[in-house]
Amino acid sequence: MLARRIIPCLDVKDGKVVKGVQFVGHEVLGDAVDMALRYRDEGADELVLYDITASSEGRTVDYNWVRDIARALDIPFCVAGGIRSADQAVKCLNSGADKVSINSPALERPDLINELAEMAGSQCVVVGIDSREMDGDYYVHQYSGDPDKIRQAGRRTLDWVVEARDRGAGEIVLNCMNQDGVRKGYDLKQLRLVRDLLDIPLVASGGAGAPEHFVEVFDQADVSGALAASVFHKKIIHIPELKRDLRQAGIAVRL
Amino acid sequence: MITVIELGCANTASVLFALERLGVEAHLSSDAAEIAAAKKVVLPGVGAAGFAMNRIHELGLFDVIRSLDVPLLGVCLGQQLLFEGSDEGDVQCLGLIPGRVTRMEASNNFVVPHMGWNQLAVTRDDPLTASVNDGDYAYFVHSFVCPVNECTLATATYGEPFAAMVRKGQVWGCQFHPERSSATGAKILENFVKL
């Protein structure tokens, strides 16, 4: 049976995993390769590595660490951050990344999704969406990594997921911003609405605070994977125990 | 020394790295003479069957690959290319394994691509599946599937069972990515190295 995926997300800067507000005071948590391997050993099914400064520094892709991670890691990983062209995406994939995730650049120029899918295949193309509930509907936000630049993208989330799928996205990561960082659980209602629209994998992001939140999101929103960052980094949730809890709740996981 | 065929599709690096981790010397090549003289060959592949088959023809590799008499391992799309043809782009493939590759039908219950860790069911003893057990997980990413037939070594099930591993003579294939399938994948690659 296909297992539900547990996906730690690592913010990477210059080959180090960092945490903190994006533009001030990064705390270095460790070397990206070491942390990737640690999560692999704990049973992570996949990793997302987010280059947090690529976009803001406006640089082309210089993912030397992508190659280092690909060399060491034997589980799949996705690279995100600052990918604005099909060429840059292909460079990531050629360096050994399994997937690339695009967010704001896809909103600036939706054709980027088509171009990536044509060059690399849909299975390599993840579209990340930052979505916030407002007045009873859900809206896409852009540049959410930068508090000075964040803005509404002028699109309904439920429209954008379908457009992204139609343009060739192979997976959607839906980051529910109302939930992000508060650890009160995933936004089950929004995820379920999006899930019902899709026939490609959906990954939940934003809000995980306890093992039961993962049980809920798989049970009630029927997502393919659940992504989280701080609860894993701060060791609030330990992946081997989380997976035991999930299995006990009758959810298919890889142990 | 293992020769990994470079078609210009993405992701050959990770196969190379996986072989490196096993301490095996491996190199990339798209040169017909070099591949014809190789001791062991891996045909990786990510992307579309039509694109990959075009590259195989452009590089003059169609007959080279078909007439190899050393172990050949097709990985992911590489396994699909071993079959007679694929519905993806309605393309004729290498014809080393009988059968035709078909599209997985997406539905709300069975989202496509089939992406993630799924369990293997070993259907036949083989050097490549040595120490691989029923229920072991491997990492899959694909939207097209290979039919189960007399060449199937292992199946996986997503809606319907499909060929997760195949063999005919000196030709083997894995639909999943052994280079991304943790210990199980490493074991399979090691088995290939030892052939």
Work out the mean pLDDT of chain B and round it to a whole number: 95
Calculate the alpha carbon distances from A16 to A12, A32, A51, A232, B47 in Å: 5, 5, 10, 16, 31
Which residues, 6 or more positions from B92, have their beta carbon under 8 angstroms from its beta carbon?
B53, B84, B85
Q: Tell me how far the alpha carbon of residue B38 is from its chain's centroid.
A: 18
Higher pLDDT, A19 or A169: A169
Three-class SS string for chain A?
A: CCCCEEEEEEEEECCEEEECCCCCCCEEEEEHHHHHHHHHHHCCCCEEEEECCCCCCCCCCCCHHHHHHHHHCCCCEEEECCCCCHHHHHHHHHCCCCEEEECHHHHHCCHHHHHHHHHHCHHHEEEEEEEEEECCEEEEEECCCCCCCCEEEEEEHHHHHHHHHHCCCCEEEEEECCCCCCCCCCCHHHHHHHHHHCCCCEEEECCCCCHHHHHHHHHHHCCCEEEECHHHHCCCCCHHHHHHHHHHCCCCCCC
Q: Given pLDDT bands bounded at 50, 70 and 90, which one contains residue A51? A: confident
More confident residue, A90 or B119: B119
Mean local confidence (pLDDT), A112-127: 91
Q: What is the pLDDT of residue A20?
A: 59
Range of weakest confidence among A53-57, A116-120, A226-230: A53-57
Out of A70-74, A119-123, B186-190, which region has the weakest mean confidence (pLDDT)?
A119-123
The answer to whether B17 contacts A199, with C-beta atoms less than 8 Å apart, is: no
Over the stretch B5-33, which tens digit does the pLDDT of each residue have? 998 765 688 999 999 999 999 999 999 99
Å from A135 to nearest chain B CA?
A: 28
State the best of B139, B160, B175 to mutate against chain A, taking most chain A CBs within 10 Å: B139
Pick from A70-84, A139-153, B49-63, B77-91: least confident: A139-153
Query: Which pTM value belongs to this model?
Result: 0.95
CB-CB neighbors (< 8 A) of B81 in chain A: none
A242 close to A254: Cβ distance less than 8 angstroms: no
- Mean pLDDT for A191-220 is 97
The stretch B143-155 carries a mean pLDDT of 97
Cβ–Cβ of B116/A3 closer than 8 Å? yes
Inter-chain residue contact B117 with A45, CB threshold 8 Å: yes
A30, β-bridge pairs: A17
Query: B137 and A67 in contact by Cβ < 8 A?
Result: no
Banded pLDDT at A62 (limits 50, 70, 90): low
How far is the C-alpha of B153 from the C-alpha of B161, rounded, in Å? Answer: 12
Q: Which residues of chain A lie closer than 8 angstroms to B176, CB-CB?
A: none
Catalytically active residues of A are 11, 130
Question: Is residue B114 less than 8 Å (CB to CB) from chain A?
Answer: yes
Please determine, for residue A24, whether its predicted confidence score (pLDDT) is greater than 60: no
Are B118 and A3 an interchain contact pair (Cβ–Cβ within 8 Å)? yes
**B-chain residues within 8 Å CB-CB of A4?**
116
Sheet holding B91-92, edge to edge: B91-92, B83-86, B97-103, B144-145
pLDDT band per the 50, 70, 90 thresholds, residue A76: very high
Give contacts of A70 with chain B, Cβ < 8 Å.
13-14, 17
pLDDT of A97 reads 93
Interface with chain A: mutation pick from B180, B184, B187, highest number of A CBs within 10 Å: B180
Residues of A in contact with B160 (CB under 8 A): none
Sign, Cα dihedral of A65, A67, A71, A73: positive
| Share of residues in chain A with pLDDT > 70 (%) | 93
pLDDT at A45 over 60: yes
Mutate to test the interface with B, among A83, A123, A196 (most CBs of B within 10 A): A123
Q: Select, from the ranges A46-60, B100-114, B178-192, the one with the highest average predicted confidence (pLDDT).
A: B178-192
Per-residue pLDDT at A22: 44
Please report residues of A whose CB lies closer than 8 A to that of B158.
2
pLDDT surpassing 90 at residue B64: yes
Rounded to a whole number of angstroms, the distance from the CA of A73 to the nearest CA of chain B is: 8
Q: Would you say residue A60 has pLDDT above 70?
A: no
Q: What is the mean pLDDT of residues A189-205?
A: 97
Which of A145, A163, A151 has the alpha carbon at shortest distance from A106?
Answer: A163
Q: Do B117 and A3 touch (CB under 8 A)?
A: yes
Distance, in Å, from the CA atom of A190 to the CA atom of B54, rounded to the nearest integer, reads: 43
| Under 8 Å between Cβ of A214 and A226 | yes
CA atoms of B152 and B137, how far apart (whole Å) = 17
- The pLDDT value given to residue A58: 61
- Whether A199 and B107 lie within 8 Å, measured CB to CB: yes
Check residue B53 and give its pLDDT: 94
Q: Cβ separation of A2 and B141 shorter than 8 Å?
A: no
**Distance between B178 CA and the closest CA of chain A, angstroms:** 9
A70/B17 Cβ within 8 A: yes
- Residue B124's pLDDT is 94
Per-residue pLDDT at B46 exceeds 80: no
Question: Residue A23 pLDDT more than 50?
Answer: no
Q: Of all residues in chain A, what percent carry a pLDDT higher than 90? A: 67
Average pLDDT over residues A35-49: 97
Residue pLDDT, tens place only, A141-181: 988 777 777 888 889 999 999 999 999 999 999 999 887 77
| pLDDT the model gives residue B107 | 87
User: In this complex, is the C-beta atom of B28 within 8 Å of any C-beta atom belonging to chain A?
Assistant: no
Residue A9 clears pLDDT 50, i.e. is over it: yes
